[in-house]
Chains A and B, each alone.
Chain A
């Protein structure tokens, strides 16, 4: 079974530029998560999708971050404009979703490492 795929793996941009990350979850997983992990910290949930609807985006800085999950499969996370403090690893995870046995177990992708100069 293929895991969660993310691209690109690394990205270097200058502040005020825009950047987009892509995630392809495990086939059949209804729930998709984007996390931000700053160096030396644990992951922080940015946004959670159930199919193509947003369940929780309370910690997403909506003035500069946006995310979508069209057709309830792949997802993109965008930052525009980027700030120095956005330097972090952006992790995508997916799970079967509520109603399934073990549906809360999250499977993580390798992450995209972003450096903002």
Chain B
């Protein structure tokens, strides 16, 4: 049974700092991995998607890496801003196609202080 774990559960940093969020999964048979952002009272917004054959994806100040064999992914946020404060969730898509189920981690709640 796939289990997705995110560490730390919460993180507070001063503005401008670079930071890394961690995600680990127990079953390497995944199709892809996604990082989502969740703001209070709102739904999830997809940030980055890494296919199982890829090593990393970048979007602006965000960079996500994937090491499928070791069951790990990291989300790197450069030059953090107060607007980055939110909960970040990683999710793996099970199986060998894009119809597999998404399995989510419990999230890391980030606070960036001005």
Contacts and interface: CB of A to CB of B under 8 A. Distances in A.
A105 B104 contact: no
A105 B44 contact: no
B43 A111 contact: yes
Interface of A: 4, 40-45, 48, 55-56, 91, 93, 98, 103-111, 113
Given A108-B44, A113-B41, 11 more contacts: A40-B106, A42-B91, A42-B107, A43-B89, A55-B99, A91-B44, A104-B93, A106-B44, A107-B43, A108-B43, A111-B41
Contacts of B4: 42
Given A56-B101, A103-B98, A104-B99, A41 B45 contact: no
Interface in B88-112: 89, 91, 93, 97-99, 101-102, 104-107
A101 B46 CA distance: 16
B42 interface: yes
Given A40-B106, A104-B93, A45 B44 contact: no
Nearest to B46: A105
Interface size class of B (residues with CB under 8 A): 20 to 34
A45 B44 CA distance: 14
Given A42-B4, A110-B42, A104 B104 contact: no
A93 to B, nearest CB: 8
A63 B3 CA distance: 25
Contacts of A93: 43-44
Interface in B44-87: 44-46, 49
